[in-house]
Amino acid sequence: MSARGRHWASINEISFVAGMRLLFWICRVFGRWPFRVVLYPVLGWYLLTKPQPRRASGDYLRRVAGHTGRTAPGVLRHFAAFGEAILDKMLLWGGLFPLDGVSFFGEAVVNQAAADGRGGLLICSHLGNLELCRVLSRQRADIKLTVLVHTRHAQAFNQMLGRLNPASQLNLMQVTDMSPATAMLLAERVARGEFVVIAGDRIPVAPKPRVAMADFLGAPAAFPVGPYVLASILQCPVYLLFSIRHGAGSEVHFEFFRDAVRIPRQGRDAALAALAADYARRLEHYCLRAPLQWFNFYDFWHSPNWNTDASR
């Protein structure tokens, strides 16, 4: 693939994490503002040495500006928000994040499902800080999460979180492809009333992944169909999950998506495209609310090798 069309998993999006240990220590000892002062030289080095994430951020921010009619935020601010998000994750697993500043919206739908002993599928995104839900779920015996991840490109960061708190690794399931055995395991967990979490805004790690094209910020973009195929296998309620930082606090939004997903044999591609389009509209809504908090630093709209024939 060309440099422009590289798969996200081949990009070490947190290659400046090596300096985050020092920055984390600075924040713990001196506070958040000294952390920010030291953060910017790290970001400056990253932007100078990583042209592809820099271009991808600029493209995304220009698309946001085209929707809002405002001047596009600077790329440096976008990466600064990413650095703040990394710090928040470290503070969360280090037990230093103020959880009383987290506000929940729409959580009644998930609380009711948990009370009824019904599991479900939560489709999340790379917006904001998903670790909030993982940490908070560990404080509630009635909600158990299994988070499907591909962490090959982020091993150093996950090892760092593991050193801060070994519990950060407990409910992660490494998945590069959804095998029948994995699907059966997840079905058993959902049947026990647990929740499976999967991202809806990154394509699978495969040579020609199956995707659906959906309008996102004014242009077609490739979205994975895996979450909806998995939902059709699990036959459980499906919810959307978005997290954004707002002011000094954080917001976690739950939305009901489908009571169940059934994909017909005839018109399969159209059904998957409709599901991806509904997800893309909600992702766009939250991206426009918090444009600096969507962290996909690759060319999201350039898709030379995606397979849009979901029947294969």
Q: What pLDDT tens digit does each residue of the chain (312 aa) get?
A: 444 444 433 445 445 556 677 777 888 888 888 888 888 887 888 788 888 889 999 999 999 999 988 888 889 999 999 888 888 888 887 787 888 888 999 999 998 988 888 899 999 999 998 888 877 777 777 888 888 876 555 565 666 666 666 665 567 777 766 777 888 899 999 999 999 999 999 886 666 778 999 999 999 999 999 999 999 999 999 999 999 998 888 999 999 999 999 999 899 999 999 999 999 999 999 999 999 999 988 888 876 555 565 554
The tokens for 143 are 């909600």
CB 300 within 8 A of CB 62: no
Q: Report residue 204: phi and psi, to 5°.
A: -65, 160
CB burial readout 42-53, b (16+ within 10 A) else e:
bbeebbeebeeb
Question: Which residues have CB under 8 Å from 194's CB, separation 6+?
Answer: 119, 144, 145, 146
Q: What is the pTM of this model?
A: 0.86
Question: Nearest-CA neighbor of 55 among 4, 129, 95?
Answer: 4
- State residue 303's pLDDT score: 61
CB 58 within 8 A of CB 66: no
For residue 162, what are the CA distances in angstroms to 61, 156, 157, 176, 260?
32, 10, 9, 21, 35
Q: In the chain, where are the structural domains located?
A: 8-293
> Rounded to whole angstroms, how far apart are CA atoms 133 and 199?
14
- State residue 117's pLDDT score: 86
Question: Nearest-CA neighbor of 59 among 301, 305, 306?
Answer: 301
